[in-house]
Chain A
C-alpha cells in the first residue's frame, strides 16, 4: 500500500448551527489524483479551505504525512510542500506574470531578507519561474501584468505560482472555474501531467463531474457535508446513491 499523504479525521466545520462539513474522513495516497465532487452546497470548498488552513475546522484533524497540521498559519503550510490554487483567481494583479511566479519561488529560498541586491540579479528564481510558466504554457506572457491576462491565462498563472513552491501535494479548487469551454480540456491535461508519475499528489475540487472522470484515480462524492461515496471513476459512475443525489438531479 502507498503512503498516506493527506488524511482528515472527523473533520467538522460549522457556521453557527449549520454544519457545512460534517465529519469527513479522507485518505489520499502518495501519487494519487483525487477529485472531490458534489452538488452546490455539498461542502467541497469548505472542506478544501479547512485542509489548506484558510478556515479553522470546528472539530477534527488534518494530518499531512503523519503530522497534525490543523490550524497552522498559511505560510507554514507552504513551507511544508503544500500548494493551493484558489477558486477565485488570486494573483498579484499589478505584477508581471513572471514576477508573480518568481515571488513564489523566492518565498522558499533564503534570499527574501536581502535588501541590497537587485532581485533581477538572482537568476535562479527567474529561471525557475520561467520553467514553471513554460509548464503551463504561459512563457510567451511572462512580461504581461497579471491583471491584463485573460481569465484562462490567469488560471494557468495560478498553477504556475503553485508549481514554483515545489509542492508535493497540490490542492486545486475548481481550477477550470469560469474558463471558456474549449480551453478546459487542455488545462485538465496539464493538471493530469502535474503528477509527474507519482512524485506529486493532487487533490482537486470540482463541480463538473465530467471534467474529472477521465483524469482522476479516485473520486470522493460529497453530499450535505458528508462523504456519500468513494471509488474509482467507473465505480462512481455506476453508483446508484451518487446518481440519485447528484448526477441525476444536477
Chain B
C-alpha cells in the first residue's frame, strides 16, 4: 500500500505507457501492428532501451561521482556478445542473457580494477583508452568472420515471438518491463547500505575512507553493476536493430549517455529515463524538421538546458520544490 502511495506518479506513467499503443490505435484508426501505432511503439521501445543505458551511467557518474569516458564499451560488448551467440552459436535467449551478464561483469571488473587506481580526469582517460581498444577490435578485419568488421554484425536472428518487425507490440512491452525492472532495481540498490556508501564517495571520497570504507571496492561494485546494466541495454539494442556495429562502442555512444544523464539530472535516476526520452524524441523531431544537421540544433538545446537547469530537468525541479 505504501509502495502504491509513494510511487503514484510513476505507476500512473507506467499505466499510461501500457495503454499508449491501444489509445494511439483507437485515435488513428490504424491497426496495432501497422502505421503510426507501430512506429511509435518502436520509438518508445528505443527510449526504454536508451533509458536503461542512461540509468547504468547515472549509477556510476551521478550516484558514485565517477566520470567514465568509456561506458560505450559495455553497451557494445553486450550487443556483440548477444549478436554473435544468437547468430553463430544459435543459443536461446535465456543463455544469451546469462552470457551477456557474465561477459560484461568480467569486462567491467577487469577494466575497473585497472582504471580505478587513478582518479578524476586520469580515470576518464584510461576508460576512454579501453573503449577505443574495443572499438578497434570491433572494426578489425581479423575478426570479420564473427563481427562483420566495419560492416557490423548484420542479420542477428531474434526469436520469432520477440521480433521487433513482426511482433512490435510484444517487443514494446518487453522493453517497457525491462526498463521498469532495471529502474526499480537501481533505486533499491541506491537506498541500500552499499548504495549509501556510493553516494558518500561522490560527496567526499577522502572522508569515506577516513570513516573506514574501502572506497576502491565500492567503486568497483558500482562499475560492475553499471557495466552489466549497460551490457543488457546493448543486448536489447542489438535485438531491436537486428544488428550490432562498431558505432555502439564509439565515443559518441558514451557522450550520449553523458547527455541523457546531464539533461535529466545526474544522480536522480528518473532523470536518466527522462533524458533518454528527450534525446530520442527531440532528436527525432529535429531530424524530421532540419535533416541530418540536427545535432547542431540539439547542441543549442543542450546549452540552454545546462545554462538554465544546472542540475538537469529532474534535479532542478527537486531543488526548487525543496526550497519553495
Whether B189 contacts A115 by the Cβ 8 Å rule is yes
Whether B196 contacts A103 by the Cβ 8 Å rule is yes
Whether B200 contacts A95 by the Cβ 8 Å rule is yes
- Nearest CB on A from B311, distance (A): 11
Whether A92 contacts B210 by the Cβ 8 Å rule is no
Which secondary structure dominates where chain B touches chain A? helix
Mask, B194-220, CB within 8 Å of A = 1, is 111101100110111111111100100
Partner of B210, one of A74, A112, A116: A74
A84 and B194 contact, Cβ closer than 8 Å, known pairs A95-B199, A103-B200: no
A116 and B188 contact, Cβ closer than 8 Å, known pairs A74-B210, A94-B203: yes
Whether A90 contacts B193 by the Cβ 8 Å rule is no
Tell me whether A69 is interfacial, beta carbon within 8 Å.
no
Tell me whether A119 is interfacial, beta carbon within 8 Å.
yes
Complex Cα distance, B209 from A117, in Å, reads 23
Count of inter-chain pairs, beta carbons less than 8 A: 89
Tell me whether A79 is interfacial, beta carbon within 8 Å.
yes
Complex Cα distance, B193 from A106, in Å, reads 8
Whether B211 contacts A107 by the Cβ 8 Å rule is yes
Tell me whether A99 is interfacial, beta carbon within 8 Å.
yes
Complex Cα distance, B212 from A112, in Å, reads 11
Tell me whether A165 is interfacial, beta carbon within 8 Å.
yes
| Chain B residues positioned under 8 Å from A181 (CB to CB) | none
The size bracket of the interface on A is 20 to 34
Q: Which of A122-163 contact B (CB under 8 A)?
A: 122, 161
Tell me whether A18 is interfacial, beta carbon within 8 Å.
no
Partner of B207, one of A90, A102, A122: A90
Partner of B206, one of A90, A102, A119: A90
| Chain A residues positioned under 8 Å from B189 (CB to CB) | 115-116
Q: Which residue of B lies closest to A114 (CB)?
A: B193
A103 and B211 contact, Cβ closer than 8 Å, known pairs A92-B204, A94-B203, A112-B197: yes
A119 and B193 contact, Cβ closer than 8 Å, known pairs A74-B210, A104-B211, A165-B212: yes
Tell me whether A93 is interfacial, beta carbon within 8 Å.
yes
Q: Which residue of A lies closest to B197 (CB)?
A: A112
Q: List 29 A-B contacts (CB under 8 A).
A: A74-B210, A75-B212, A75-B214, A77-B210, A78-B210, A78-B212, A84-B210, A90-B207, A91-B207, A92-B200, A92-B208, A93-B204, A95-B203, A103-B197, A103-B211, A104-B211, A106-B193, A106-B197, A107-B211, A112-B194, A112-B213, A113-B194, A115-B193, A115-B195, A117-B192, A117-B193, A118-B192, A119-B195, A165-B211
18 further A-B contacts with Cβ under 8 Å, apart from A78-B210, A103-B196, A122-B193, are: A74-B210, A77-B210, A78-B211, A79-B212, A90-B210, A91-B207, A92-B208, A93-B203, A106-B196, A112-B213, A113-B193, A114-B193, A115-B189, A116-B192, A118-B192, A119-B192, A120-B191, A161-B211
